[in-house]
Amino acid sequence: MIKLDIISDPICPWCYIGKTQLDRALASHPDHPFTVEWHPFQLNPDMPAEGMDRRAYLEGKFGGKAAAVQVYGNIERQAQTLGLSIDFAAMKRTPNTINAHRLIHWAGLEQKQQGLVDALFDAYFCKGVDIGESDILCDIAKKAGLERDVIAHLLDSDADCQMIRERDAHSRKMGVNAVPTFIVANQHAVPGAQTPEVWATIIADLQTQIED
């Protein structure tokens, strides 16, 4: 198998779109060589722990309402072409995602990362849920097959917070400045939300190399 590392943030719409396109490519190629692991990258590492009003965040980030509407209009159109129902209107707050990243890490220890990441994307983008809230993260963890009480205890502590920050910093030091970024076989970086056709080409090339 070939390692496919995905550097991502669960509040990044392009990460959601990128995962959807990757999943479709992998489903079309059940003999693909990848084993997937998710890694942390906070789009907003300085976000207050309680998050902030989403409208204020977007207008501050993009320099006003008009620019924010234009950026997210492009995202919404891309999502619609994939049949993704992103409910931007339901999103009231932009969360700090360090706890969501801790949860993704813990799910990985139990081989349940994929379902957990799917659940986080669905909660935030489809339901407008604040995935910075510990109770919500505990509910998501339970649905993904993790022990709710254990996750609640861990979230109530500082367990693995520093490790997540260090992994984020390591990715930035290696040159990652936007997500999603996919690292193939610890060697080749594939930036951005690539189409299933691009992934099909990558898979075919890797399979040829394996056969040779």
Residue 163 has pLDDT above 90, yes or no: yes
pLDDT band at 85 (very low <50, low <70, confident <90, very high): confident
Q: What is the mean pLDDT of the chain?
A: 96
- The answer, as to whether pTM is greater than 0.85, is yes
- pLDDT per position as a tens digit, 1-30: 999 999 999 999 999 999 999 999 999 999
- pLDDT per position as a tens digit, 28-72: 999 999 999 999 999 999 999 999 999 999 999 999 999 999 999
Quick one: pLDDT at residue 210? Answer: 80
Among candidates 146, 148, 159, 152, which has minimal Cα distance to 117? 146
CATH topology of domain 2-211: Glutaredoxin (3.40.30)
Residue 111 has pLDDT above 70, yes or no: yes
What is the spatial distance between Cα 29 and Cα 7, in angstroms, rounded to a whole number? 22
What is the spatial distance between Cα 211 and Cα 154, in angstroms, rounded to a whole number? 44
Please work out, in degrees rounded to the nearest 5, the angle formed at the alpha carbon of residue 44 by the alpha carbons of 75 and 184: 70
pLDDT band at 211 (very low <50, low <70, confident <90, very high): confident
| Cis check: omega of the bond before 191, within 30 degrees of 0 | no
Q: Are 125 and 87 in contact (CB under 8 A)?
A: yes
51 φψ region: left (φ > 0), alpha (ψ -120 to 50), beta (else): left
Strand partners, 189: 183
Long-range CB pairs of 77-83, under 8 A, 24+ apart, other chains included: 78/17, 78/193, 79/13, 79/16, 79/17, 82/17, 82/20, 82/21
Strand partners, 3: 35
Share of the chain above pLDDT 90, in %: 96
201 φψ region: left (φ > 0), alpha (ψ -120 to 50), beta (else): alpha
Q: What are phi and psi of 10, to 5 degrees?
A: -70, -5
Share of the chain above pLDDT 70, in %: 100
What is the spatial distance between Cα 58 and Cα 75, in angstroms, rounded to a whole number? 14
